[in-house]
């Protein structure tokens, strides 16, 4: 278990002797979650006169919109109003970076499921019934549709220009390498499947203002986009979010469409309007993790060391750019994963298709980039007849080989010692021999084993987003309220930030409370994304709490008769270091109020040392790297294609953990979510109509408790962060999603046992039973 850091006592110290960070504490709202008392956006008591909105969706994947029969829709029971693109008073755009994503379709239908109109009715069901009349209400002329990334790539149809990142001379290295491997592969997308769907509730306020409750990871962006759609200024829009029932990136940019429509309707009708979409409509309207297609050529030596690599990464972006540019940039920056690539040429293509616009998802392109190199190294090992772990270890970054293709040095590299420890604790080599013996005597059931590492860069790869603000209020009874720009989506961000503030002021955790995210309190915030929530907001809150403590110190020193540098804030009191005098924190702040000492403060933090050239894809985009590794053992039924994860051993680097219990929970959840992406979550579109066929839980299979590893061993690697992060911790949200690469490659290892020595099974991802059977058939011929 991680131990808290020791801090010196003094003006700039965090002096709690009863530490509030580095200890396991329950999620601040866990008891509310399990009792059903936690309030989500749909649980907010509806104001008198609340109306409900529903969306009419395009029945075509591509077409020219001729008209919408608004009169037909208005005649339906309960309908109060119908909105089309013509009714948007400001900009008809909800795209976060490129203004290419209309709120409501205007002229062109871009994908099957695109919102064309909004019905506002007295009842949600009545609104949905009227909205569902899209086929009768929409007149459109069909146009040819492009439905796959490969098809779009073949005709050069992209949402942004191609990206290229290179180092050395890949072509020369390939030409001179003793061995060469060419391959093509693809990995599918992934639905975020947040338990709380997309929802916004807009309430008109006096003097042309609006209060918007929105389930979003990015309240400030919702504020800005709503203001643009309304033709207003940002100060007229207040966005609040107490919590989300999951986000995983799906509520970073794509909550904007729902927020804008609810806001426009509420302002136009001067009545509260709620827009909560049905799960099927959510699937059909919103995007998800980008699926990637790959084409690669690699050269390597007899020991499996990579000498040169060239790869095309083709992402399916959907009909608009959304966040596809930074997703592809992160994929290119994570293709190296934990490995030194002396000569490499990467080409990123963001394909434009007539499907939902894909967006952020936990990992944000990093998993798609790193997965490619893992598949390549596995193929290299199999062709050479070597243990894939050995090939991975031979390619690890080492001293003198620590510069990434984008020019950042890999500092504080933990990958070798972390992997060595996991190899030992998991019994990897002994189990490898046991599995070989089992497979030799088992004709139907086959076992597989794989170990995969992770090196993941932490920071937004857009430099200006790496900033955060916070407010800390100390009340005269000694209680504390903290507000920050991050959003709570179940990950425990509010718990960690409250722990940081409690630690800084030497208070019990119960004395500090976090309030709802609110654009009227902390302005111009970044999205809670890129695993930066605790890093940024924790530092900002620490800054605010430290300012308050510094203001209190002169008064405390005078009351206790000691020097300021001899004060200890601990256990809800302030005392002299020699123990001769003490005063309760409550009494101290009450006296401070009487002496007109400011008891609230703002805090701010900007991540230092970052720079990035987006044109050249060079710079220092990450504050630090998080490391990890996992060993997975699976059992495959070669007659049915079914798989089971028998055991998973995970060792993950979170630095000096702020809250080990929460961090272990995040690692476990990320592992299972990543396992779902690579084994069961398959997205299927109709090849002619473009309809997403897997748009409900009946056809789209997320992992359940039954899919968790039967034996799940998760441990935190106990090395403090070398960088000055919040209490030397490291981010934990996204990096562990890459750990279940080990599951996919263990399945591939099991399938390889069905074929001849050195065979390389063509296993697709997700590795559904059908994909497993196809791979078994391919190596068994």
pLDDT confidence of residue 15: 46
The rounded distance, in Å, linking the Cα atoms of 608 and 599 is 28
Question: pLDDT band at 554, cuts 50/70/90?
Answer: very high
The rounded distance, in Å, linking the Cα atoms of 535 and 518 is 19
Residue pLDDT, tens place only, 132-144: 999 999 999 999 9
- In the set 252, 504, 734, 770, the catalytic residue is 734
Q: How many other β-carbons are positioned within 10 Å of the β-carbon of residue 559?
A: 15
Omega of the bond prior to 766 within 30 degrees of 0, cis? yes
pLDDT confidence of residue 1: 35
Residue pLDDT, tens place only, 269-297: 999 999 999 999 999 999 999 999 999 99
**Number of helical (H) and strand (E) elements in the chain, helices listed first:** 20, 29
Helix, strand or coil for residue 746? helix
Question: pLDDT band at 11, cuts 50/70/90?
Answer: very low
Among candidate residues 723, 661, 716, 727, the one with its CA nearest the CA of residue 503 = 727
52 Cβ contact list (under 8 Å, min separation 6):
120, 121, 122, 123, 124, 126, 127, 273, 274, 275, 276
The answer to whether 513 and 498 are in contact (CB under 8 A) is: yes
Say if residue 7's pLDDT is above 50: no
Say if residue 2's pLDDT is above 60: no
Q: Name the strand (E) or helix (H) holding 534.
A: helix 533-560
Residue pLDDT, tens place only, 442-476: 999 999 999 999 999 999 999 999 999 999 999 99
pLDDT confidence of residue 125: 98
The DSSP bridge partners found for residue 685 are 692
pLDDT confidence of residue 10: 34
pLDDT confidence of residue 6: 36
Q: How far is CA 383 from the centre of its chain?
A: 35
Residue pLDDT, tens place only, 740-753: 999 999 999 999 99
Say if residue 638's pLDDT is above 90: yes
Question: Starting from the edge strand earliest in sequence, which strands make up the sheet with 643-653, in order?
Answer: 445-458, 624-637, 643-653, 711-717
Q: What is the mean pLDDT of residues 375-401?
A: 97
Contacts 24+ apart (CB under 8 A), 420-424: 421/651, 421/717, 422/451, 422/629, 422/630, 422/631, 422/649, 422/651, 423/389, 423/451, 423/631
Q: What is the mean pLDDT of residues 563-591?
A: 96
pLDDT confidence of residue 12: 41
Q: What is the mean pLDDT of residues 494-498?
A: 98
Q: What is the mean pLDDT of residues 703-723?
A: 96
Beta strands in 169-272 (DSSP E): 179-187, 199-205, 209-214, 237-241
pLDDT confidence of residue 13: 41
Phi and psi at 342, nearest 5°, equal -70, -35
The rounded distance, in Å, linking the Cα atoms of 600 and 591 is 15
The rounded distance, in Å, linking the Cα atoms of 410 and 407 is 9
pLDDT confidence of residue 718: 87
Look up residue 115 and give its two tokens: 């919102």
pLDDT confidence of residue 3: 37
Say if residue 47's pLDDT is above 60: yes
Look up residue 743 and give its two tokens: 């599951």
pLDDT confidence of residue 8: 34
Q: What is the mean pLDDT of residues 180-191?
A: 98
Task: Label residue 322 left, alpha or beta by phi (over 0 means left) and psi (-120 to 50 means alpha).
Answer: left
Share of the chain above pLDDT 70, in %: 98
Question: pLDDT band at 781, cuts 50/70/90?
Answer: confident
pLDDT confidence of residue 42: 98
Q: What is the mean pLDDT of residues 723-729?
A: 98
734: annotated active-site residue:
yes
The mean predicted confidence, pLDDT, of the chain is 96
Q: Please tell me the total number of residues recorded for the chain in this structure.
A: 781
Tell me whether strands 711-717 and 643-653 are parallel, antiparallel or unpaired.
Answer: parallel
Residue 77: exposed, middle, or buried by beta-carbon count in 10 A (0-12, 13-18, 19+)? exposed
Look up residue 313 and give its two tokens: 């990464």
pLDDT confidence of residue 216: 98
Residue pLDDT, tens place only, 104-134: 999 999 999 999 999 999 999 999 999 999 9
pLDDT confidence of residue 92: 98
Per-residue H/E/C for 694-739: CCCCCCCCCCCHHHCCCEEEEEEECCCCCCCCHHHECCCCCHHHHC
pLDDT confidence of residue 246: 97
The rounded distance, in Å, linking the Cα atoms of 635 and 750 is 7
């Amino acid at each position: 278990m991680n131990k808290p850091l020791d801090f010196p006592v003094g003006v700039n110290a965090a002096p709690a002797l009863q530490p509030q960070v580095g200890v396991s504490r329950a999620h601040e709202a866990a008891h509310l979650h399990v009792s059903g008392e936690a309030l989500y956006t749909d649980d907010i008591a509806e104001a008198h006169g609340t109306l409900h909105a529903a969306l009419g969706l395009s029945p075509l994947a591509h077409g020219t919109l001729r008209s919408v029969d608004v009169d037909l829709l208005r005649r339906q029971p309960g309908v109060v109003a119908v909105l089309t693109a013509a009714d948007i008073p400001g900009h008809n755009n909800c795209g976060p970076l490129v203004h290419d994503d209309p709120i409501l379709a205007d002229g062109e239908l871009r994908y099957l499921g695109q919102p064309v109109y909004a019905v506002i009715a007295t009842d949600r069901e009545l609104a949905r019934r009227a909205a569902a009349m899209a086929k009768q209400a929409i007149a459109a002329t069909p146009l040819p549709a492009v439905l796959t990334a490969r098809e779009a790539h073949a005709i050069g149809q992209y949402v942004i220009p191609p990206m290229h990142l290179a180092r050395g001379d890949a072509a020369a290295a390939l030409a001179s390498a003793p061995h060469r491997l060419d391959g093509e592969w693809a990995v599918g997308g992934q639905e975020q499947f947040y338990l709380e769907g997309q929802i916004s509730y807009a309430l008109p306020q006096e003097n042309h203002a609006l209060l918007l409750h929105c389930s979003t990871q990015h309240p400030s962006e919702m504020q800005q986009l709503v203001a643009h759609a309304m033709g207003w200024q940002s100060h007229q829009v207040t966005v609040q979010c107490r919590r989300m029932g999951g986000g995983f990136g799906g509520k970073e940019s794509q909550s904007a469409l729902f927020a804008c429509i609810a806001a426009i309707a509420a302002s136009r009708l001067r009545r509260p309007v709620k827009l909560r979409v049905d799960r099927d409509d959510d699937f059909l309207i919103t995007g998800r993790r980008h699926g990637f297609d790959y084409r690669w050529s690699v050269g390597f030596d007899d020991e499996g060391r990579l000498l040169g690599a060239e790869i095309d990464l083709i992402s399916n972006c959907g009909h608009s750019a959304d966040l596809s540019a930074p997703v592809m940039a992160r994929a290119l920056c994570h293709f190296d994963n934990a490995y030194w690539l002396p000569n490499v040429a990467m080409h990123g293509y963001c394909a434009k298709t007539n499907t939902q616009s894909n967006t952020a998802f936990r990992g944000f392109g990093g998993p798609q980039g790193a997965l490619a190199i893992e598949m390549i190294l596995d193929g290299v090992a199999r062709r050479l007849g070597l243990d894939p772990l050995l090939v991975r270890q031979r390619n690890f970054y080492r001293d003198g080989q620590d510069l990434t293709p984008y020019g950042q040095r890999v500092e504080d590299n933990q990958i070798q010692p972390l992997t060595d420890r996991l190899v030992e604790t998991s019994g990897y080599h002994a189990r490898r021999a046991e599995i070989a013996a089992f497979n030799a005597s088992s004709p139907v059931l086959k076992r597989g084993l794989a170990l995969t590492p992770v090196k993941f860069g932490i920071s937004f790869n857009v430099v200006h987003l790496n900033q955060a603000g916070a407010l800390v209020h100390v009340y005269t009874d000694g209680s504390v309220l903290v507000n920050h720009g991050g959003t709570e989506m179940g990950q425990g961000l509010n718990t960690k930030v409250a722990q940081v503030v409690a630690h800084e002021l030497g208070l019990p955790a119960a004395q500090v409370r976090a309030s709802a995210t609110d654009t009227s309190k902390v302005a111009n915030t970044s999205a809670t994304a890129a695993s930066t929530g605790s890093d940024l907001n924790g530092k900002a809150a620490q800054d605010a709490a430290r300012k308050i403590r510094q203001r209190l110190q002169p008064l405390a020193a005078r009351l206790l008769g000691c020097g300021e540098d001899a004060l200890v804030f601990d256990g809800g009191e302030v005392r002299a270091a020699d123990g001769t005098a003490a005063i309760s924190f409550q009494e101290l702040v009450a006296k401070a109020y009487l002496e007109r000492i400011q008891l609230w403060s703002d805090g701010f933090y900007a991540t230092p040392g970052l720079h990035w050239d987006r044109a050249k894809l060079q710079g220092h985009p990450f504050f630090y790297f998080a490391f990890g590794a996992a060993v997975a053992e699976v059992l495959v039924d070669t007659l049915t294609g079914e798989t089971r994860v028998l055991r998973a051993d995970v060792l993950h680097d979170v630095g000096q953990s702020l809250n080990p219990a929460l961090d272990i929970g995040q690692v476990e959840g990320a592992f299972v979510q990543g396992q779902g992406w690579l084994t069961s979550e398959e997205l299927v579109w109709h090849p002619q109509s473009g309809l997403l066929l897997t748009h409900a839980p009946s056809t789209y299979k997320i992992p359940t408790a039954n899919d968790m590893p039967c034996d799940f061993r998760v441990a935190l690697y106990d090395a403090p962060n070398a960088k000055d992060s919040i209490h030397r911790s490291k981010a934990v949200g996204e990096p562990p999603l890459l750990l279940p690469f080990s599951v996919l490659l263990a399945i591939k290892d099991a399938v390889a046992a069905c074929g001849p020595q050195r065979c390389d099974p063509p296993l697709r991802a997700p590795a559904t039973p059908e994909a497993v059977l196809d791979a078994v058939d391919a190596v068994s011929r």
